[in-house]
Chains A and B, each alone.
Chain A
Amino acid sequence: MPELKTFGRGGIHPDPHKRDTAERGIEPIDPLPSEVWLPLLQHLGDPSVPIVKKNDRVVRGQKIAEAGPSGVPLHATISGKVKPIDKRPHPTLVSAEAIVIARESDEELEFPEDPGWRELGTGGALERIREAGIVGLGGAAFPTYRKLTLPEGVRVDTFVLNGAECEPYLTSDYRLMLAEPEAIVEGALAMARIVGVRRVLVGIEADKMPAVLALREAAKRVPHEGYSFDVVPCEVRYPQGAERQLVAALTGRAIPPRALPLAVGVVVQNVATAHAVYQALRYRKPLLDRVVTVTGPGIVYPRNVRVPLGTLLERVVEFCGGLRVDTTRLIAGGPMMGRALPRLDLPITKGMNGLLALTGRGPFEMGYGPCIQCSRCVDACPLGLEPDQVSVRVEAGKVLDTEPFGARECYECGCCTYVCPSGRPLLQFMQVAKSSLRRATSVRVTT
């Protein structure tokens, strides 16, 4: 096998824990939820504005909220009656306005193919992607049409499709690549067309070789004259799927501190996003479902589940056999960058790629010791920052002295905390330093 691509420095090799779900194909949730909660804000940007009211009947696929100025619209994911629009628990915002639909039927809008979809201009295609409510499905939930809208004067030459899925436990992207390789290739090529590049690189970690082969085969069946389309197996190494690390692995280009991939002429999109974009462009089908890996030692039957957005976690967990009694922690996303959730009566949102049920005490609950300056965090940091030096200065109350050690550049991959033998919450020390430095700078600018 040729040498695998990867990024330069740092990174870790956490236990992958993918076995429980890697061999399980995507299963639609059954039964369909009797109710969905659709928060008006599931993306980065302004909340959507409801266009339905209490007691309206809606059909799956129908738009129920218009996009806010920098956001995306929202669609009904099941058919039924709209309940009062009010605040509901939200996975990241604690509580937020949500449109609640009680299911009454299995009707669905039809989405006939648009035969001219490949000839759509850039503007038309972006409009369709926005209208479909698509956001980054890899977890960030940034509106996709905005990421594909290049700022004036910016030139790009490479489109990177992110199938790395470097977070432990998660296999939803892997299963989607196996189930829908052609749709993903089509979606990637369409996005490359939108940003005007002819070079597509797909990065997939080498523990998913079947997906590498599936996408390569699919690329042979999808017409793409004039475009190069290369599927590149990458080393299994966290955080291979972080934009910076993936771009470095595939193109050898290093993105400057705190800049976007655009700075080195690259646009990055996740494979699940590519799938949704294809559906939106060819069939005008909005984003209604997503695949969630439901796994971890607390889940009785780990699975990859396709769920309508807004389905409550308790229904999803129920479909996976329920929670074991020793479950102590519930995580949205992967165990490295995912967020802890307090309860099960929360909706699946657009950015939620995994639901982990973990047992036992987590690293943060174990307490921590002093820094023994072993430099494991320095060696693990993919950016070459010094979390050890930042942490001792934050502890000593000298937050503003952390600048030379790179606190501002941290994008919070968590490698430092993972490797620390003293169990120190280094990532949180970095966050404290980062926000303090940011505040200090803004004061300096305004006075």
Chain B
Amino acid sequence: MSEPAAVPAPSTFVLAPGPHVRTSESTATIMWTVNAALLPAAAWGALMFGFPALAVIGASILGAVAAEWGAGRMMHARTSVRDGSAVCTGLLLAMTLPPRLPAPAAFLGAVFAILFGKMIFGGLGYNLFNPALIGRAFLMATFPLPMTAGWSPPAKWISHVDAVTTATPLAALRERGIDAALKLAGGPESPLAGLFLGIRPGSIGETSVLLLLAGGAVLLLRRIISLTIPLAVVAGVALVTAPTGHVDLHLLSGGLWLGALFMATDYVTSPTTRNGQIVFGLVIGALTGVIRIYGGYPEGICYAILLANALVPALNLWFKPARPVFAGAPS
């Protein structure tokens, strides 16, 4: 034994219960990954709809972060804006808003989203409803006209729609029929390709199904979300809208993919068991279809998710995780 002498050892050690190792994943890494996954679709919105859209995004994130920081200080919250969840709420809210909404309204909506959608319940983890959608519902009630009419057409270099303002495909479908709806989608090939790529009027972050799917794929690969809820939502929409014969248009327009991939999958406001998640997703999809066809608004995913959020505590009680089943004693 000719090894170097032992270094002086500390005489007492930290006593803590196990496990003594943990994953490197944290709430902050999850939230910032979600934010990154949202970025391509949000950037596409800014590209299509120009500076006003960028102003809405900036104002919304600013409002959310400011409200979270202020309320957090007053509440002595143990969470921090650095965990990325306030940025996430602000960004998500902005992506559901029309590009021509005045930026101060977006700011106000984000403040409301954080204060009354999240902090009033106790902050991160305790809210019943999706905060971004609470913010959107608030803006629908307080700024009904800018929230529903006068949509920006996509940028002129890629679109054939030549107007200052226009309608969304879902609104056109509702009022003037399928041909009017398809005319609003631009792009190189068929109108459906235009819808898929996001060359159409709409909310800032909802238009590009392609980029939303890309962001969703990142979250799937990083195992931040699973396919359960998005598939159930899409299945619900397809089932309910099937009798109209326009399933393809319904699946490619509105905020379906933004909602299904990034909002219905919000951990805090979705069920924790697989079967509960299936029911939750189907309810969202079905309600979305029902509101679109029979309701007062052309798009329904926002209210569909908010209504389904209210079911979550019950779904968590009703549905249990699969348990190993007792079997196989020797005869």
Measured as residues with beta carbon below 8 angstroms from the partner, the interface class of chain A is 35 or more
**Smallest CB-CB separation from B9: which chain A residue?**
A323
Contacts of B324 in A (CB 8 A): 7-9, 244, 248, 254, 382-384
Please report the number of residue pairs spanning A and B whose Cβ atoms sit closer than 8 angstroms.
201
- Cβ of B159 under 8 Å from chain A: no
Cβ-neighbour of A427 out of B6, B15, B17, B123 (below 8 A) = B17
- Cβ of B188 under 8 Å from chain A: no
Contact (Cβ within 8 A) A364 B6: no
Q: A318-B6, A369-B79, A421-B26 are in contact. Are A156 and B19 (CB under 8 A)?
A: no
Contact (Cβ within 8 A) A325 B7: yes
- Cβ of B243 under 8 Å from chain A: no
Measured CB to CB, the closest approach of chain A to B36, in angstroms, equals 16
Contact (Cβ within 8 A) A418 B21: yes
Q: Mark A161-197, 1 if CB is under 8 A from B, else 0.
A: 0000000100000000000000000000000000000
Query: Which of A66-74, A329-337, A436-444 makes up part of the contact surface?
Result: A329-337
Q: A155-B330, A335-B20 are in contact. Are A343 and B13 (CB under 8 A)?
A: yes
Q: Mark B27-62, 1 if CB is under 8 A from A, else 0.
A: 101100000000000000000000000000000000
Measured CB to CB, the closest approach of chain A to B13, in angstroms, equals 4
- Cβ of B314 under 8 Å from chain A: no
Cβ-neighbour of B22 out of A356, A369, A423 (below 8 A) = A423
Q: A254-B324, A254-B325, A264-B328 are in contact. Are A338 and B13 (CB under 8 A)?
A: no
- Cβ of B141 under 8 Å from chain A: no
Cβ-neighbour of A389 out of B27, B83, B316 (below 8 A) = B316
- Cβ of A321 under 8 Å from chain B: yes
- Cβ of A228 under 8 Å from chain B: no
Measured CB to CB, the closest approach of chain A to B199, in angstroms, equals 35
Contacts of A253 in B (CB 8 A): 327-329
Q: Mark B104-130, 1 if CB is under 8 A from A, else 0.
A: 000000000000000000111110000
Measured CB to CB, the closest approach of chain A to B314, in angstroms, equals 13
- Cβ of B245 under 8 Å from chain A: no
Contact (Cβ within 8 A) B320 A384: yes
Q: Roughly how many angstroms separate A186 CA and B122 CA in the complex, as a whole number? A: 61
Q: Roughly how many angstroms separate A152 CA and B140 CA in the complex, as a whole number? A: 72
- Cβ of B23 under 8 Å from chain A: yes
**Smallest CB-CB separation from A379: which chain B residue?**
B321
Q: Roughly how many angstroms separate A79 CA and B279 CA in the complex, as a whole number? A: 69
Q: A342-B12, A419-B23 are in contact. Are A375 and B7 (CB under 8 A)?
A: no
Contact (Cβ within 8 A) B125 A373: yes
Q: Roughly how many angstroms separate A325 CA and B9 CA in the complex, as a whole number? A: 6
Most chain A beta-carbon contacts within 10 A, residue among B3, B7, B20, B83: B20
- Cβ of B148 under 8 Å from chain A: no
Contact (Cβ within 8 A) A418 B23: yes
Measured CB to CB, the closest approach of chain A to B15, in angstroms, equals 5
Contact (Cβ within 8 A) B20 A340: yes
Contact (Cβ within 8 A) A14 B330: no
Q: A321-B3, A323-B10, A341-B13 are in contact. Are A254 and B23 (CB under 8 A)?
A: no
- Cβ of A358 under 8 Å from chain B: yes
Q: Mark A235-259, 1 if CB is under 8 A from B, else 0.
A: 0000000001000100111111000
Measured CB to CB, the closest approach of chain A to B278, in angstroms, equals 13
Cβ-neighbour of B11 out of A344, A381, A420, A428 (below 8 A) = A344
Q: Roughly how many angstroms separate A338 CA and B20 CA in the complex, as a whole number? A: 8
Contact (Cβ within 8 A) A329 B20: yes
Contact (Cβ within 8 A) A365 B16: yes
Q: A265-B330, A322-B6, A375-B273 are in contact. Are A369 and B21 (CB under 8 A)?
A: no
Q: Roughly how many angstroms separate A265 CA and B6 CA in the complex, as a whole number? A: 50
- Cβ of A422 under 8 Å from chain B: yes
Measured CB to CB, the closest approach of chain A to B279, in angstroms, equals 15
- Cβ of A353 under 8 Å from chain B: no
- Cβ of B310 under 8 Å from chain A: no
- Cβ of A1 under 8 Å from chain B: no
Name A residues whose Cβ lies closer than 8 Å to a Cβ of B.
Answer: 7-9, 14-15, 30, 155-158, 168, 244, 248, 251-256, 263-265, 300-301, 314, 317-318, 321-325, 327-331, 335-344, 356, 358, 361-365, 367, 369-375, 378, 381-386, 388-389, 404, 406, 414, 417-423, 425, 427-428
A–B Cβ pairs within 8 angstroms, 5 of them? A248-B324, A252-B327, A255-B326, A264-B328, A363-B21
Among all A-B residue pairs, the 3 with the closest Cβ atoms: A322-B6, A370-B125, A253-B328
Given A301-B3, A373-B267, A384-B321, list of 5 further CB < 8 A pairs? A254-B326, A364-B17, A369-B125, A370-B125, A384-B322
